[in-house]
Amino acid sequence: MERIERSFAELEYESKKPKTRREKFLERMEVLAPWEKLLEKIRPYYPTAGKGRVPYPLEGMLRVHCVQLFYNVSDPAMEDMLYEMESVRRFTGIRLEKVPDETTILNFRHLLERHGLGKVLFETIKEHLAEEGLVLKEGTIMDASIIASPASRKNRKRERDPEMKQTKKGNQWRFGMKLHIGVADQTGVAHSLAATAANVHDLAPSEELLHGEEERVWGDAGYQGIQKREEHKDRQVAWHIAMRSGQRRKLARDPLERLMEECKSSVRAKVEHLFFYVKQMFGYNKTRYGGLAKNENRLALLLGFANLLRGESALV
């Protein structure tokens, strides 16, 4: 039997008592994520041992990538985390003697982007949740949220990202992109997503957010008139779209209408949990990359993680 020598860091880690919040969170994701199913989707694209340097184990690199997304850190910062934190090394299965450098971490991310595997992994997680009865198809909530993009021109071309655009929300101008999602109205689990520039109207990608088996669709006032669009006019669904603010102010004289609007709001509120996970918990409230494709690839996987957390009570 091969003997594995433990480092001082590992021995010291084993002797400590309280668990940190990071350790508790990584333990949750260890249980929630369908790791083997995710690995199956990446394995055909991952290099195998041959000429040159032996690649790092696929599972270790996937877990490193996931930790990087959980804490929204750069490639160099991820390398530092692996050197500094025994809890992260244990979660990833990386030994202190063989930590991947920032270039290796970068190359793995590029592999996922090149083959569009962010959305593939999102679909894999969705299928996993569907097997547990968490992706019901009777109703869909649609919503969109702006992801800001740095307005800095400190790049080679000295210009803003051409795929990001400016839009006005309320009295404030925002520059960046939009994440559009379709969510099951009973479970609050996302089943579809689309990424556009911030100036694209919420209605434009709405067809991508519906799977076609809905009996009812919910949306905020930005989706007013959706049933009149060519792509939706033949759908046999009940449209529950919120009134505009000016119309709502007139409801004081009609308690029944006011109650109906409150009901719509309570259902639509489920979608905010997913935006909270993506933008606040995982910290992706500002784009890290240039262009829509790279950001969409990352957002798809983050949304998959958010789905796992949303369905945690049914998975454990």
What is the full DSSP assignment across 71-133? TT--HHHHHHHHHH-HHHHHHHT--GGG---HHHHHHHHHHHHHTTHHHHHHHHHHHHHHHTT
The CATH number of the domain holding residue 195 is 3.30.420
52, 82, 115: which is the final residue of a domain?
115
One domain for residues 25 and 156: no
d(CA 185, CA 218): 8
One domain for residues 101 and 149: no
One domain for residues 25 and 142: no
One domain for residues 157 and 271: yes
One domain for residues 105 and 155: no
- Distances in Å between the alpha carbon of 273 and those of 131, 252, 276, 280, 288? 22, 29, 5, 10, 22
115, 149, 183: which is the final residue of a domain?
115
What distance, in Å, lies between the first and last C-alpha atoms of the chain? 34
Measured in whole angstroms, the distance separating CA 231 from the mean position of its chain's CA atoms is 27
Q: Is 307 part of any domain?
A: no
One domain for residues 163 and 220: yes
Q: Is 79 part of any domain?
A: yes
Helix 21-32, helix 58-70: angle, nearest 10: 130
Q: Name the burial class of residue 59, with classes exposed (0-12), middle (13-18) and buried (19+) by CB atoms within 10 angstroms of its CB.
A: middle
Q: Is 294 part of any domain?
A: no
d(CA 220, CA 21): 35
Q: Is 154 part of any domain?
A: yes
Q: Spell out the per-residue pLDDT of the chain, length 316, in tens.
A: 344 555 555 555 555 668 899 999 999 999 999 999 999 999 999 988 655 566 899 999 999 999 999 999 999 999 999 999 999 999 999 999 899 999 999 999 999 999 999 999 999 999 999 998 888 889 999 999 999 998 766 666 667 888 999 998 888 999 999 999 999 999 999 999 999 999 999 999 999 999 999 999 999 999 999 999 999 988 999 999 998 876 766 666 677 777 888 888 899 999 999 999 999 999 999 999 989 999 999 999 999 999 999 999 888 7
Q: Are 187 and 310 in contact (CB under 8 A)?
A: yes
pLDDT of res. 2: 40
d(CA 203, CA 51): 51
One domain for residues 159 and 265: yes
Report the number of distinct structural domains present in the chain: 2
pLDDT of res. 1: 33
One domain for residues 55 and 157: no
* Domain range for 278: 136-287
One domain for residues 190 and 92: no
